[in-house]
Amino acid sequence: MSISIPKGTFDILPHHLLDKEEWRASEIWNYLESQMRQIAREYGFKEIRTPIIERTELFQRGVGETSDIVSKEMYTFLDKGQRSLTLRPEGTACVMRSFLEKNLNNKSPYHKLFYIGPMFRYERQQAGRYRQHHQFGVEAIGSAAPESDAECIALLYTLLKRLGLSHITLHLNSVGDTASRQHYREALREYLKPHFSELSAESKERFDKNPLRILDSKAPQDREILKDAPSILEYLDEDSHSHFQRVCQALELLKIPYCLNNRLVRGLDYYSRTVFEITSSELGAQNSLGGGGRYDGLIKSLGGPDLPAFGFGTGIERVIQTMLSQKVEIPADFRPQLYIIPLGESARQQCFSLLQNLRLRHIAAEMDYSDKKLKQSMRYANNIRAQYCLIIGDNEIATNAAQLKNMDSGNSHQIPFNLESILQEIQ
């Protein structure tokens, strides 16, 4: 019996090994990750890598017991020392743990950190939703300035645009401070009470514990009821209100289009003030490409100083899937420039040395070691999408003449067998 991959997970493989689900091509992941690193650098974010296991308590306290993530979706287990550990479901709490443990706040007043890595959530499997997904996330710690919110949002928006995406919408909202959220919660419950019996089972469950999450419901009957629900923006305290206005102005200054969405609350409990999400109309039900917001109270609630912070996470799977469905050009380097096929022992030795010299010149080159028939070797070259094939036998070594085939046009011609001539032809 062969052993299958766990449900909700997937392999990322070289492009030529995939016959479907091109989004799992490692070349595309490499391309995207390089773009993420590049933009992080431009916006002044430095990389942080934290373990994928953390103490369970971190997420219980950091993400919140009433969130779906903590109450239903965590991969939690006891290790051999009977400690409860959890595979990280998200990155923010992990960054905060590292930040506090290493007293990073004593080292500098601001910290701008980014991460790229896997997250684990035991979710119901569906398109665009995985049990192991990957996020590019940023956390800007130490600034309460509205420009810091706008800068992070701009980073994600600019990245998605730079990747060539269109039809994306930036949804923006503010969930105010703790007191204004409490007032709003009461007002929302008051509004929903007469409709309670018509709400979906999930929303009924959320009514007492976390009524704000009802705003997120996709159930048609809930959406109908919510049409006339009060808006959280009318319940904002004065400071949150003016902060929000300044975030909107900052985005306008950067010419980043946004759409106010007073139903946006997000699924994690740590947010205060600004929250945002970028959606794609192409993604179906799981349409969030990324989201985040301000989480000014989180560091303090984890036992640290009272520091403001803002961040976001974006799902790499969903970004790639949207790029592919929008057919954007992906300059991922799929193709070896040259595939060398030696025919005979003396050719083999000379080609092997040529191969290294090509690589020393930064040429992506491959060589056939198989001793297979020429036809089979050519088929493989085609398979890995080599741009050119160089074919040379022992006799041709003696006459210093190789065959170079352009794999796109199918044309071949003879060229001298030396590094300079080959470089001239293929570059």
Compute the least distance from the CB of residue 302 to ligand HAM, in Å: 14
Please give the span between the terminal C-alpha atoms of the chain, in angstroms, as a whole number: 48
Query: In this complex, which beta carbon is closest to ligand HAM, that of residue 264 or of residue 391?
Result: 264
- 229 near 178, Cβ under 8 Å? no
CA 230 – CA 333 distance, rounded (Å): 51
Query: In this complex, which beta carbon is closest to ligand HAM, that of residue 323 or of residue 386?
Result: 323
Query: In this complex, which beta carbon is closest to ligand HAM, that of residue 296 or of residue 366?
Result: 296
CA 339 – CA 369 distance, rounded (Å): 11
Compute the least distance from the CB of residue 116 to ligand HAM, in Å: 12
CA 161 – CA 167 distance, rounded (Å): 10
Angle at 357 between CA 354 and CA 358, to 5 degrees: 85
Query: In this complex, which beta carbon is closest to ligand HAM, that of residue 118 or of residue 164?
Result: 118
In the beta sheet, which residues pair with residue 77? 85
Mind giving me the DSSP string for 256-282?
Answer: ---EE-TT---S-TT--SEEEEEEETT
CA 351 – CA 204 distance, rounded (Å): 71
Query: In this complex, which beta carbon is closest to ligand HAM, that of residue 308 or of residue 315?
Result: 315
Compute the least distance from the CB of residue 67 to ligand HAM, in Å: 9
Compute the least distance from the CB of residue 273 to ligand HAM, in Å: 12
Query: In this complex, which beta carbon is closest to ligand HAM, that of residue 244 or of residue 388?
Result: 244
Compute the least distance from the CB of residue 106 to ligand HAM, in Å: 22
Mind giving me the DSSP string for 381-397?
Answer: HHHTT-SEEEEEEHHHH
Compute the least distance from the CB of residue 184 to ligand HAM, in Å: 20
Q: Which amino acid is at 404?
A: L
Query: In this complex, which beta carbon is closest to ligand HAM, that of residue 43 or of residue 130?
Result: 130
For residue 333, what are the contacts with CB-CB under 8 A and spacing of at least 6?
Answer: 27, 30, 31, 364
Dig out the tokens for 15 from the structure.
């492009």
Compute the least distance from the CB of residue 156 to ligand HAM, in Å: 10
In the beta sheet, which residues pair with residue 280? 168
Query: In this complex, which beta carbon is closest to ligand HAM, that of residue 276 or of residue 417?
Result: 276
Q: Which amino acid is at 193?
A: K
Query: In this complex, which beta carbon is closest to ligand HAM, that of residue 53 or of residue 426?
Result: 53
284 backbone φψ class: left, alpha, beta (φ>0; ψ -120 to 50): left
CA 96 – CA 304 distance, rounded (Å): 9
Taking each helix axis from N to C end, the angle separating 419-426 and 345-360, rounded to the nearest 10 degrees, works out to: 60
Compute the least distance from the CB of residue 226 to ligand HAM, in Å: 20
Query: In this complex, which beta carbon is closest to ligand HAM, that of residue 111 or of residue 121?
Result: 121
Choose among 99, 119, 96, 177: nearest CA to 144.
177
Compute the least distance from the CB of residue 313 to ligand HAM, in Å: 3
Return residues touching ligand HAM (CB under 6 A): 90-92, 121, 123, 128-130, 133, 135, 137, 139, 267-268, 288-293, 295, 311-315, 317-318
Token pair 């109309």 is at which residue? Answer: 281
Dig out the tokens for 100 from the structure.
């506090």
Compute the least distance from the CB of residue 127 to ligand HAM, in Å: 10
